[in-house]
Every structure is written in structure tokens, then in C-alpha cells.
Amino acid sequence: MGENKHMDDHATLPIGDDRALLSPRQWRRRVALWLGAILVALAAMLFAQGSNYAYELFTRLLAQSRYWPLLVTPIGFALLAWLTTGALRATRGSGIPQVVAALNREDDAPFRERLLSLPVAAGKLALTLFAMLVGASVGREGPSVHVGAGLMVWLAQRFGFRDAQSISRFALAGGAAGIAAAFNTPLAGVMFAIEELAGAFEHRFSGALLTAVMIGGVVSLGLVGDYAYFGKMSTSLPLGESWLAVIATGIVGGLAGGLFARTILFAATGLSGMLGKFRRVTPVGFAATCGLALALIGLASHGAVYGTGYAQAREIISGSHAITPWFGIDKWLANVVSYAAGIPGGIFSPALAVGAGLGANLAPWLPHTDATAVILLGMAAYLAGVTQAPLTSAVISMELTDNHDFVLPIMGACLLGRAFSTLVCRTPVYRAFAQQLVRERESQIATSSTA
């Protein structure tokens, strides 16, 4: 106890204190974090290259015959469901709820180890790549958070940091580094850690904060005009009629995103009747059925719904007419059945693809606004609707497009998207899944204590 107290005293020394600067423990912590960040970034790069290669192999299969997914995808989904029924069960889904749950029960070492162990991190990476190889409509960003947290925790333990508080800090840093490396958006990593993982911002407050920032920017723009503090900035969405696009995309993206979150939560926890019994009794068969549903959607969409959706989103933004007008809805359905199957895979990049499709559908109804602007706003609003994390969604959208002219419109669309999403789904989707994991753990503890 005395040694732990001494170590904690060093850990809480002020940054400006000479003892903090010279503390061996502090320097060991810094080195572990720096090495961990490098390791997470390398893993994210490997993940990105692997996902591209996996999708390329799948597209080669599609080129042979568009009917191959009717066989390959159900078998692949069934195999993934079977592989994740035992020790690798924690690899299912996005991975973000696992990190959130581990942070919420930081004193429960066995629970944390089960969610964030190195085998789970490695399994998450490998199984998500396999999901992409068989055509699943999933992303790698959520899994990158899970892998990043697992790698950082493993490294922290190698450096001797095993107390609950230190492990939580390393997991938080690893998750943030994972999302930053996956999207190549460092500021988004910071926002994600604050808003989604750490829960330091209560969700209503994050909306109030975004509102304050947006109002301040609008007032400044209206009174002083369009100027940049360090240089000239041009904007494609001036105050006025074009801002109808912000309202339209915010409402549509928010409702569609909230409906997606509500649907996958219901599929995971609320299925009843024959379908619910089928999932409980035969999870492998249920996953195969979801795979077959995805293959049928793929046939109807001419193969556009498979994979992360990056390529399709780029084509939509560039004005390509190769993507069907129904892509947004088709991709939405593909994301639902992929996540409902319980296989490993994230929802970030597929959500951006859905948002791009919905934005393209709204663009003809807003003739006074540039179509590309509407598409970008649709991506931001839908992502905010799915995650109910408006700050993270706004920063990701701005950093991905590298267009700071859209700062205020994107903030407005994300704020509206989150607000309208809550009308459909009251609890943010990652928080709801994390709460489910915690409840399952508490139920296990209660059962074992009464046995």
C-alpha cells in the first residue's frame, strides 16, 4: 500500500513541479505513451492497407460474377459468428462500446482484460479484415479505436503500469490515437476522446457548446463580414437562402441516423417472436441470413453497398453518375444487416457513405446551393445522427474534406442532426451498447455470488 501511495503521489505532481519533470515514473509513462502512439499508428496503417486489399479481392470476385456473394457472404458471416462465440466474443461489433464499457468499470480487471486484451485486439483486426473480404458493409474506424486501446493497455502493462487509473488513461489515449490515425484527423481524435470515450462532456452540454460556437461565428460573419484572422477565406455557403441546406440535411440526416441507431439497438436487444428465438438459438444461422440479405441488397444495388463505402462516397462527391439514386437507402439497409449479424466491424465510414447518398438525394431540391456542399453537409449530419457526437462529427467532416470554408455550416448540420436523432433514439448508440455490456457483466457477477 505504501509503495502504491508513493507512486500515486508522483503521478499527480503538477506539470510545473521540478519533481514531476525529473520523476522516473513520469518519464516512463511518457515513453510508454509515445511508443504506444507509434504502435497504434502503425497498426492503423496496416489496417487501412489490409482493408483496401480485402475489398479489392472481393471486387475481383464480383467481376467474375455478381452472384458469388449469394454464396460467399452468408458463409463468411456464419463463420464470423461462429468464431466470435467464445474467447473472441469481445471482437463483435464496432469496438467503441467495449472501450467505453472498460473505462466505466476501471476497477474490474477481469472484465477489462476480457475486452481489451492483446488477443482480442489482434482478433479484432484480423476478423474485421475477413468481414471486408466477404463483402460486409463495415468500417475500420471503430475497430481501430478498439485495437488502439488494446495495444496501448498491453504496452502500459509491459512498462509496469497496472493500476486501474493508469490503465484507463492508456486505454483512452490508445482509442483516441486509433480514431486519429484511422481518419488521419488528429483534432478529431482529441474530440472523440473527450466527447465519446471519456464522457467528460455531457451530451446536452456538447450541443450547447456547439450552438454557442456557431452563434458566435454567425454574428461575427454578419457584423464584420467574411474575413480570416490570418488571411482570406472564401465560403460557398453565405448566410441566406443557401443555409436552407443546413436545415434540410440536419433534419434528414438526423432522423435517418437516429433510425439507424434505434434499429441496430433493437436488433441486438429487442428482437422478439420467431426472429428473436432464431437469433438466440442459432446465432450462426441468423448471421448467415443477414449475409444473404446483404447479398440480395448487393444484387439490387449492382454491387454498390459492399465494403466501407469510401469509393462510393468519393464518386458521389465528384459528381459521378455511376452511383444509383437509391444508394443512400441501399447502403443504410446494408449497414443495418451487417451490424445486426453481430460480426466485427465499425459504422463510421459506412455512415459517411450513407450521408453522401442522402445529400445527393437532397441536392436537386436545393437548386440555389452547390450540390457538393449539400453532399458534404449530408455526410456530417448523418454521422452526427448515428453517433450523437456532434463535436466529433463536425471535426471529422471538416478535417476529411480539408475545407475550412464549411466550418459554420457543418457545425449547424451536426447540431441539428444530433437534435433530430434524439427524437428517434434517446440514448447514443455507443453508450447504449456499452451499458448493455456492463449490465451483462453485473448479471454474471450477481449470478456467481449467489451460486
* Rounded distance between C-alpha atoms, residue 291 and residue 75, angstroms: 8
Residues forming a β-bridge with 139: 346
| pLDDT for res 2 | 44
| Residue 9 pLDDT class (50, 70, 90 cuts) | very low
CA dist., res. 182 & res. 178, Å (int): 6
Distance CA(330)–CA(303), nearest Å, equals 10
Q: Which residues pair with 346 in a beta bridge?
A: 139
pLDDT band at 230 (very low <50, low <70, confident <90, very high): very low
pLDDT at 199: 63
| pLDDT exceeds cutoff 90 at 444 | no
Q: What average pLDDT does the structure give for the chain?
A: 83
Classified as helix, coil or strand, 228 is: strand
Q: Highest-confidence range of 8-17, 94-103, 248-257, 311-320, by mean pLDDT?
A: 248-257
Instruction: Name the grid cell of 85.
Output: 462465440
Instruction: Find out whether 271 and 279 touch, Cβ atoms under 8 Å.
Output: yes
- Please name the residues in contact with 65: beta carbons below 8 A apart, sequence gap of 6 or more: none
User: In the prediction, which pLDDT does 182 show?
Assistant: 78
Are 207 and 418 a contacting pair, CB within 8 Å? yes
Residues in CB range of 433: below 8 A, 6 or more apart:
93, 94, 97, 265, 268
State pLDDT tens for residues 330-362: 999 999 999 999 999 999 899 999 999 999 999
CA pair distance 133, 126, nearest whole angstrom: 11
Residue 401 has pLDDT above 80, yes or no: no
Task: Kindly report the pTM of this predicted structure.
Answer: 0.86
For residues 20 and 158, the model is more confident at 158
Predicted confidence band of residue 74 (pLDDT cuts 50, 70, 90): very high
pLDDT band at 80 (very low <50, low <70, confident <90, very high): very high
CA distance 381 to 72: 34
- Band of residue 227 on the pLDDT scale cut at 50, 70, 90: very low
Can you tell me the mean pLDDT for 296-302? 95
User: In terms of Cα–Cα distance, which of 202, 203, 168, 175 is closest to 189?
Assistant: 175
Measure the CA–CA gap between 90 and 175, rounded to whole angstroms: 16
CA distances from 150 to 41, 95, 121, 145 (A): 13, 10, 5, 9
Which one-letter amino acid corresponds to residue 159?
F
Distance CA 228, CA 344 (A): 44
The CATH classification number of 203-437 equals 1.10.3080.10
Q: Strand locations in 155-248, DSSP E?
A: none
Average pLDDT over residues 261-268: 92
Task: Give CA–CA dist 342/268, Å, rounded.
Answer: 8
DSSP secondary structure code for residue 93 in this structure: B
Handedness of CA 101, 104, 105, 110 (dihedral sign): positive
Confidence band of 20 (pLDDT split at 50, 70, 90): low
Confidence of residue 420 (pLDDT cuts 50, 70, 90): very high
Strand partners, 231: 228
Helix 371-387 × helix 429-450 angle, to 10°? 20
444 SS3 class:
helix
Length of the chain: 451
Least confident segment among 215-224, 226-235, 359-368, 382-391: 226-235
Compute the average pLDDT of residues 163-190. 81
Q: CATH for 29-197? A: 1.10.3080.10
Residue 352 · residue 331 · CB < 8 Å: no
Residue ranges of alpha helices (H) inside 341-428 are 348-362, 371-387, 390-401, 407-424
Half-sphere exposure of 348 (CA within 13 A, CB side): 24
Amino acid residing at 147: V
Q: Sorting pLDDT into bands at 50, 70 and 90, what band is 320?
A: confident
CATH 1.10.3080.10 positions along the chain are 29-197, 203-437
pLDDT of res. 207: 52
Work out the end-to-end distance of the chain between its first and last CA atoms, rounded to an integer number of angstroms.
Answer: 32
What number is the average pLDDT over the span 36-65? 91
Percent of the chain at pLDDT above 70?
Answer: 82
C-alpha span between 272 and 316 (Å, rounded): 38
Q: Per-residue pLDDT tens for 193-225?
A: 777 776 644 455 455 544 554 454 455 455 545
How far apart, in whole angstroms, are the C-alpha atoms of residue 283 and residue 264?
16
Lowest mean pLDDT among 79-83, 218-222, 267-271: 218-222
C-alpha span between 48 and 110 (Å, rounded): 31
